[in-house]
Amino acid sequence: MIEKENVKLNESLKEHTTYKVGGTCKYFITPKDIDGLIDLLKYLRKNNIKYMILGNGSNTIFSSSEYDGVIINLCNLNSMVIEDNKIYVEAGYQLIKLSMDALNNSLSGLEFAAGIPGNVGGAIFMNAGAYKSDMSNLIKTVTFLDENLELKTLKNEELDFSYRKSLFQSKDYIIISAVLELTPGKKEEIKDLMDRRKERRIESQPLDYPSAGSVFRNPSEDVFAGKLIEDLGLKGYQIGGAKISEKHANFIINVGDATGEDIKELIDLVKVKVKEKYNIDLHVEQRFINFGE
């Protein structure tokens, strides 16, 4: 069913999250193709074995406990074809790489994604975005496995996209591929915009430490989570190896041997402080996994 080289035992999840935290998982499996994925899921369901789909781990915080089940990574679902201004791409394809492919084909629309270290499936799941743009602006259709493991396709307007949300967050669906529609542009202008944004990221974000990007959603267009945290004097506050960045207060960084528990405790503390001071409930963009809750 699954080739041996696609199965790792007692795999460290630190190697599969951008925070570089987590315990081990019993099995880490990378199915070869869609048929292999379906066969694996049927087996796991039949035998009542716990599992989860993990992309690049760029928005995931694992506890230090063992994940007593199967982590499935779709990195082998990574085909990509560009036809005119449409991109046909599978879920395991890297988003940053896709933004460069768009640039090289003089297609505009993915400039915002040049600094997002996720894969296409995760980006659609979270409706990832930056610079007032997101995946929902580009998606034409998404193909996925439904709860019965049947391949289905939905159009953009059927996917319930909103700020950092999609239909997939409330359904037992697994994203397989998507069709994106971009706008023809001038390569030099697209590259110039991406370069300027890269310089801004280097100046304003702690890119030299493991992190998972912005921790909290901005409460509104004119209220920024990072500003609220900074005004509370929490820049540089540290629990264990987890620290609120002194460069950008909406980033938590791993400055040593941080654990998922350190990060969660720091996130919980920030939420309490912001609630007490501003009566604002900050929404965490990242997911906590295997914390026994």
pLDDT digits (tens, 9 = 90+) for 48-62: 999 999 988 988 999
Please name which of 129, 138, 80 lies closest in space to residue 109, comparing C-alpha atoms: 138
37: pLDDT strictly greater than 60: yes
What are the tokens at 188? 């030099």
| Confidence tier at 249 by pLDDT (50, 70, 90) | very high
**Per-residue pLDDT averaged across 221-250, rounded?**
96
24, 67 contact by CB (below 8 A): yes
Give the per-residue pLDDT at 181: 98
Cβ neighbours for 133, distance < 8 A, ≥ 6 positions apart? 109, 111, 112
CA distance 85 to 54: 29
> What stretches of the chain adopt beta strand conformation (E)?
7-12, 24-29, 51-54, 60-62, 67-73, 80-83, 86-90, 107-108, 129-130, 133-134, 139-145, 151-155, 174-181, 183-184, 238-239, 242-244, 252-254, 287-289
Could you tell me the strand order of the sheet in which 252-254 lies? 238-239, 242-244, 252-254
**Per-residue pLDDT averaged across 137-145, rounded?**
98
159, 166 contact by CB (below 8 A): yes
Residue 165 DSSP class? B
**Per-residue pLDDT averaged across 220-230, rounded?**
94
| Confidence tier at 5 by pLDDT (50, 70, 90) | low
List 63, 136, 166, 214, catalytic entry: 214
Give the per-residue pLDDT at 253: 97
Whether 12 is a known active-site residue: answer: no
Whether 214 is a known active-site residue: answer: yes
List 12, 66, 164, 217, catalytic entry: 164
293: pLDDT strictly greater than 80: no
Whether 287 is a known active-site residue: answer: no
| Confidence tier at 1 by pLDDT (50, 70, 90) | low
Set out the domains of the chain in order of their start, with CATH numbers.
4-73 (3.30.43.10), 80-189 (3.30.465.10), 206-289 (3.90.78.10)
Output the average pLDDT for the chain: 94
Residue 256 DSSP class? S
